[in-house]
Amino acid sequence: MQPVVPTNPPMIKQNLKDIYFIANQWLVLPNTWYSKMRMRSRQGLLLHLGCGDDYLEGMINVDGNIRRKKEFWLDLRNRLPFREGSASLVFCSHTLEHLYPDEALALLEEIRRVLADDGVARIAVPSFEMCLQIIAGRVRKEWPRKFADAESQALNYLFCDGQHKYGYCAATLRAFAEEAGFGRIENYSELNGSAEKVYHGVVLGNEPPGSLIFELYP
């Protein structure tokens, strides 16, 4: 096997990120309370949770990194500062896998709480099904580390150098969504891949190829 060589773009080591986010969960609380006051009467919200560098115009972008462009600096492990049934759309792409299972389930429960009766949540995560494609030699994944063998590439994709806390297949994500209380659960990627779709006037569909994408309804 060839030597393991880190490839670009560089990533912040996860142990440093963990230190930041341990503090962040508490540092954001005053801002979370203030945000709750600001949003107490708002309805029809279009929420983008865990926006990272992917700032979306027309949506309320939320992120835990204080340096990101966003409307709200929040920690998704805390209770969301939005009223019950106040969101028409919730978009959460490649964020759940950065949480431990109990944290991810709690976030899905919060998404269900804030989602309106006629609302929809589009949830995307790296898929274990893509791992099987990598192992079969149909796809190569060489980031964040380069491996010669397919099995190591698959593990590299799923756990992303320790950045990801959990992995999802379609059945796992469905089980979490059911436990969170969603009444209608659809595997969007099974038929459509990551094709664009318009939700409440917002075009979504920028997930990486091979993403597992679900649409969740109350």
Convert the pLDDT of each residue in 100-150 to its tens digit: 999 999 999 999 999 999 999 999 999 999 999 999 999 999 988 999 999
- Rounded Cα distance between 194 and 200, Å, is 18
Q: What is the mean pLDDT of residues 28-38?
A: 88
Residues 80 and 96 sit within 8 Å (Cβ to Cβ):
no
Is the confidence at residue 10, as pLDDT, over 70?
no
Q: How many angstroms from the chain centroid is the CA of residue 69?
A: 17
Please, which pLDDT band fits residue 6 given cuts at 50, 70 and 90? very low
pLDDT band at 4 (very low <50, low <70, confident <90, very high): very low
- For the ranges 27-31, 80-84, 130-134, 210-214, the lowest mean pLDDT is seen at 27-31
Q: Please report, for residues 70, 75, 191, the alpha-carbon distance to residue 58 in angstroms, rounded to integers and kept in the order given.
A: 12, 21, 27
**Full set of structural domains in the chain with CATH:** 12-126+168-217 (3.40.50.150), 128-163 (no CATH)
Round the CA-based radius of gyration of the chain to a whole number and report it: 18
Give the Cβ contact number of residue 62 at 10 Å.
25
For 42, the 3-state DSSP assignment is: coil
Maximum CA extent, the chain? 59
Average pLDDT, the chain: 91
Higher per-residue pLDDT: 12 or 74: 74
